[in-house]
Amino acid sequence: MSSNISKEEVAHVAELAKLKLDDNKLDYFTKQIDDIVGMFETIDKVDTTNIDPTYSVTDQLNTMREDIADNWNQRQALLDTAPETKDGFIEVPTIIDESGDGE
Amino acid sequence: MNYFKESIDSLHEKLVNKEITAEELTKQTFENIDQTDPKVAAFLALNKEAALAKARQLDQQGIDPNNVLSGIPVAIKDNLVTKGLTTTAASKMLANFNPIYSATVVNKLDALDTINVGKTNMDEFAMGGSTENSAFKVTKNPWDTTKVPGGSSGGSAAAVAAGEVIAAIGTDTGGSIRQPAAFNGVVGMKPTYGRVSRWGVIAFGSSLDQVGPITSTVKDNAVMLNAISGLDKHDMTSSDKEVPDFTANLDKDIKGLKIGIPEEYLAEEISADIKQSVQKAADYYRQLGATVETISLPNTSYAVPAYYIIASAEASSNLQRFDGIRYGFRAENAKNLDDLYVETRSQGFGDEVKRRIMLGTFSLSSSYYDAYFKKAAQIRTLIINDFKDAFKKVDLILAPTTPTTAYGIGEDVSDPMTMYMNDALTLPVNLAGLPAMSVPAGLDKDGMPMGIQLIGKPFDEATIYQAGYAFEKETKFNQNTPKMGGNN
């Protein structure tokens, strides 16, 4: 097996992406991502000296509009789509773990 | 209603002449779906009550004889948000998501009095080419229900191919309209980037995504693109270019049209039957007075890696919004805020989505940014230049849509590399932002549909439609229908 990316690197990437992988899944994804990154590396051999990158293919350069708020008056409807709300706010867990078994 | 024998025009005539009411047509569409969908599984949600109410209202106010879409039932891919109708993008993350607004495309179709009958299945967040990555169900190919319908717009293509609806909306980031259209023997158009508003489309690769129609005839497709095109102030990448009537020149002679076949698109991985279908198409076009020559798009082999780097990077960024806070799925029993993000995303996303998020996070990370993301964006420029050079010589590019016809359910899904390579013929068009359409090109030796792809200059969908219409009229391949389905 080639090694374009290590298990540790995949674990690090998963952490950055806020994904948790158990050991089986980590092995599974490492093998696949290793293959895919190997395929990515084929672009190495292309000479791109002085070639500008393309990040967008839109034909619209700048789209201007008046800086006016567009109020849809859907505050309650938006709150209704949130998983948990309280007193007109979206409720989230505490930022610091209070259960005692955290870091 | 036997949609295999109808077109949007013929249905319109029946509605105007009161041979059928909009309510009856809508009811019969749901009967088609009730009868066929247990076998095909194209739909995730049906919009029965609202659809029938709208049809009744239309019958009361009268069908507009000047609006060919008045009262026509259509299906919508489940990554376009629909106000009041569950929109999941086939992800557990959005299993119960009920949008508070509708996508511009949905609003435009609604304003033209089409009837939205329901939402179609897809690969989760449009990532995949078989619709097997749906969190909810596996859609079957109506031509052979042991085979995949393609994807990611597999539900939309299968619904049209099975005669459940006359037209459906799909999205195409790397081939997600054209490939399922080819696999199901129907017509699928990916318009020029910017032709159709992406507002309200659940974002995957924002510089690549486009919305387009899937239909059984070229003309129906042009009618649908007329309906959904145009500048939208909510999507700042939508184009202010004038939208022509795409049906206007369908019948125009294609004599003198210059067509190029890229040699790189007929590589050895392409099945013999499909290569032959392209050669046959070239012969048809020559008979009709067009010229066909071999051209070269030399950077084609780098399109797959460049695409998967760019698309995954954009996906990893776009999908950061799914964090369990404001809408969608939220994991239970999280210990703290960070734990909530991690648990929600780990439980809410399927494997393919996780894979792409990780690939994107990897190629955007500071130590790899130049070697992967920036390099891929430079290769994107080279691919665009290849097409620009080609279009100095030819008006239109002819190519296969897919390397093979539809494969068996479960065959490829465990091997992402094979899946990614299957997109090699469709994704260069997304990198370059060009319009391209897949048109039925007959059946292979196993009786499965093949498609040819017509690629046009930016904003020249009209020439694609013209050439597609000429091919369809000559070959009548669109009249092949699956043995099962609808009222056959």
Q: What is the pLDDT of residues B117-138, one digit of tens each?
A: 999 999 999 999 999 999 999 9
Asked if the Cβ–Cβ distance from B326 to A44 is below 8 Å, we say: no
Return the number of other C-beta atoms located less than 10 Å from residue B374's C-beta: 16
CA–CA min distance B417, chain A (Å): 6
In whole angstroms, what is the distance from residue B305 CA to residue B302 CA? 6
pLDDT grade, residue A2 (50/70/90)?
low
Which positions of B are annotated as active-site residues? 77, 152, 176
Angle at B284 between CA B279 and CA B290, to 5 degrees: 100
Q: Where is A11: in which H helix or E strand?
A: helix A7-16
Asked if the Cβ–Cβ distance from A43 to B305 is below 8 Å, we say: yes
Contact predicate B258/B291, CB 8 Å:
yes
Indicate the residue of A13, A18, A90 with minimum beta-carbon distance to B342. Answer: A18
In whole angstroms, what is the distance from residue B263 CA to residue A82 CA? 52
pLDDT, tens only, B77-128: 999 999 999 999 999 999 999 999 999 999 999 999 999 999 999 999 999 9
Contact predicate B109/B228, CB 8 Å:
yes
For A45, nearest residue in chain B (alpha carbons): B302
Residues of A in contact with B323 (CB under 8 A): 18
Please give the DSSP secondary-structure letter assigned to residue A88: T
pLDDT grade, residue A73 (50/70/90)?
confident
How much is the pLDDT for A101? 52
In whole angstroms, what is the distance from residue B352 CA to residue A33 CA? 11
- Total count of residues recorded for chain B: 488
Is pLDDT at A70 greater than 90 in this prediction?
no
Indicate the residue of B241, B371, B433 with minimum beta-carbon distance to A57. Answer: B433
Asked if the Cβ–Cβ distance from B381 to A99 is below 8 Å, we say: no
How much is the pLDDT for A94? 87
How much is the pLDDT for A99? 61
Asked if the Cβ–Cβ distance from A36 to B359 is below 8 Å, we say: yes
Domain boundaries, chain A: 20-44
Architecture (CATH level 2) of domain B3-254+435-479: Alpha-Beta Complex (3.90)
Residues of A in contact with B345 (CB under 8 A): 17-19
In whole angstroms, what is the distance from residue B333 CA to residue B339 CA? 9
Domain boundaries, chain B: 3-254+435-479
pLDDT less than 70: residues of chain B:
413, 484-488
pLDDT, tens only, A34-69: 999 999 999 999 999 999 999 999 988 887 888 998
Q: What percent of chain A has pLDDT over 70?
A: 91
| DSSP string for residues in A17-85 | TT----HHHHHHHHHHHHHHHHHHGGGGGS--TTPPP-----S-S-------------HHHHHHHSS-E
Is pLDDT at A103 greater than 60 in this prediction?
no
How much is the pLDDT for B168? 98
In whole angstroms, what is the distance from residue B65 CA to residue B69 CA? 9
Indicate the residue of A33, A41, A43 with minimum beta-carbon distance to B359. Answer: A33
In whole angstroms, what is the distance from residue B210 CA to residue B232 CA? 14
How much is the pLDDT for B178? 98
Residues of B in contact with A55 (CB under 8 A): 207, 377
Q: How many CA atoms within 13 Å lie on the side-chain side of B432? A: 28
Asked if the Cβ–Cβ distance from A19 to B299 is below 8 Å, we say: no
Backbone dihedral angles phi then psi of residue B443, each to the nearest 5 degrees: -115, 150
Chain A, chain B: beta-carbon pairs less than 8 Å apart: 179
Indicate the residue of B241, B337, B357 with minimum beta-carbon distance to A92. Answer: B337
How much is the pLDDT for B111? 98
Asked if the Cβ–Cβ distance from A82 to B341 is below 8 Å, we say: no
> Cα dihedral angle (B19, B22, B23, B24), rounded to 10 degrees?
30
Structure tokens at B99: 């949008």
In whole angstroms, what is the distance from residue B469 CA to residue B252 CA? 9
**Is the dihedral angle over the CA atoms A72, A77, A82, A84 positive or is it negative?**
positive
Mean pLDDT score, A70-78? 89
Instruction: Return the residue matching tokens 């009361």.
Output: B60
Helix (H, G, I), strand (E, B) or coil at A90: strand
How much is the pLDDT for B255? 97
How much is the pLDDT for A66? 87
Tell me which residues of chain A, numbers 11 to 70, contact chain B at a CB-CB cutoff of 8 Å: 13-14, 16-21, 29, 32-33, 35-37, 39-44, 46, 48, 51-60, 63, 65
Q: What is the ipTM of this complex?
A: 0.93
